[in-house]
Structure 1
Amino acid sequence: MLRNIKTASNNVMNIASRVKFPEKFKGTFLEKWSNYWKNLFIDYRQALQDLRSDIQDEPRKALIWTTTLASIYALAKNNPTELDFQDNLKRITNEVALVSEDCRNKASIEHLRHIDMSYNQGVIHYRNLGIASIMYTSELNESCDLYKIQCSYLKPAFYTFPSRIIDVGFMGRWWNIYIKTANYDVNE
């Protein structure tokens, strides 16, 4: 594959060197535009040739970089969204509703009620961090216009943020709701 890149770039350069602009286009926008694209192609061809030589010189390093980039891409592609969280929450809530109240796990029910209450109050928020996502709560709704939400001295401190995180989404799953509701039908 790397040889094909080199031969293809050489073929394109041979064609580009044979094509000449007519005299009436010399010094015009078209000549400048073609020179720009030709120089850009030369730069990228040189970068690919350098990449090829680096891969041949240090194959372990290239393997590590390739694996790391592929892993980051896979994690970002499987990062759950807020819609996934809501879908998961509704599915689990419907499953819990089918279980008798005597059999329900109280910790699971309290967690589901806290999430529902946060949604009803409008204080739950979603953040996408690239390879992971978080759901967290704030003290007041964003549409609230009280003095408490406008005053910078009354805003929550940064170190209290971990206690306000409801769930962390990673590798296609919301983990806290999965762990807390795994045994929703087992009453202690």
Structure 2
Amino acid sequence: MVWFRAVGRMFCSTAQSGAAPGSASRWEKMKTSKAGVWCRSLLSDYREACRETVVGAWERPLKTSLYASLLGSAWICFYTKPDRSLFEAALLERSNQLALLSPWVRNATSDSHVQSLMKLRNEGRLRCASLGLLSVIYRADFDPDVTLYEARCSNLSTPWRELPQRVLDIGFAGHWWILDSKMNDYDVNEEEFKFLPAYMQATSPPSVQEVGKNQNLHKDSWLPLTMEEEKAHAVEMKRS
């Protein structure tokens, strides 16, 4: 048994001593090959670029903060960019808000804008294009499932230069700006006030003096009445 162990150790040591130069030479060949030289130069360039970035950020903190703020803002805008599903959800919500109001109370601008968008949605003519930091909703001429020749022929398709005329809304930072602006005062029908006198059609905010006067009157209204005390004082004055 001892003899077998000695022979095994001798073979193992011989194999290791023979494999070491081969592996070392193979590693040297890989380092000196074209791929090895290219990888080493690439790592060296990346290391130098990272070192220069750190040194530049340390020497110019204001410029670095500005660039970091711009990159962070761009990332936030890209992350919060709404898509078509969010536009349809916002459109249905605005439509429900208008449906809860009487036709005599709805704002004509809000109602006509939402109704036109709902008509295009039901016809399948709404399209959404992603432009990096923002999304654009525009109208198309046909539904994507239409098989008419005018809808399938590429020569009759709408050119890109007409896209600004077809834009319906712009999505940026999680909001649809045109839809939100059209819904301002959606429950105020301006047609109701066109027959009023001019001085009653427009209202101005109250001044500071008027606000203070109204507040004082409101506070005085909560004070207890003193009519009985005044009458008693008047009777005493008469008796005297």
Relative to the length of structure 1, the TM-score reads 0.74
Aligned to 2:103: 101
Counterpart of 2:61 in structure 1 is 59
Structure 2 residue aligned with 1:182: 184
- The structure with the largest alpha-carbon Rg is 2
Q: Offset at 1:87?
A: 1.5
1:146 shift after superposition: 2.1
Residue 110 of structure 1, CA deviation: 1.3
- Cα displacement (A) at 1:178: 0.5
Deviation, 1:129, is 1.4
Deviations 1:35-94 (A, max 9, x none): 687765544332211111222343343233222111111111111122211121121111
Mapped pair 1:82 → 2:89: no
Instruction: Choose from 153, 156, 170 the match for 1:154.
Output: 156
Equivalent pairs, count? 166
Q: CA separation of 1:99/1:38 partners in 2, compared to 1, >3 Å: closer, same or farther?
A: same
Aligned to 1:132: 134
| Deviation for aligned residue 1:145 | 2.4
| One-letter code aligned to 2:144 | E
Name 2:144's counterpart in structure 1: 142
- Structure 2: unaligned runs, 5 residues or longer: 1-19, 191-240
In the superposition, the TM-score normalised over structure 2's length comes to 0.60
Equivalent residues in 2 for 1:101-120 (5 A)? 101-120=103-122
Distance in 2 (alpha carbons) for counterparts of 1:111 and 1:168: 14
* RMSD, aligned α-carbons: 2.8
Say whether 1:45 aligns with 2:44.
no
- One-letter code of the match for 2:65? L
- Deviation for aligned residue 1:23: 4.5
Q: Whole-Å Cα distance in 2 between the matches of residues 85 and 60 of structure 1?
A: 38
Give distance in 2, aligned partners of 1:39 and 1:157.
47
What's the CA shift for 1:122? 1.0
Indicate the structure whose relative CO is greater, using CA pairs within 8 Å and at least 6 residues apart. 1
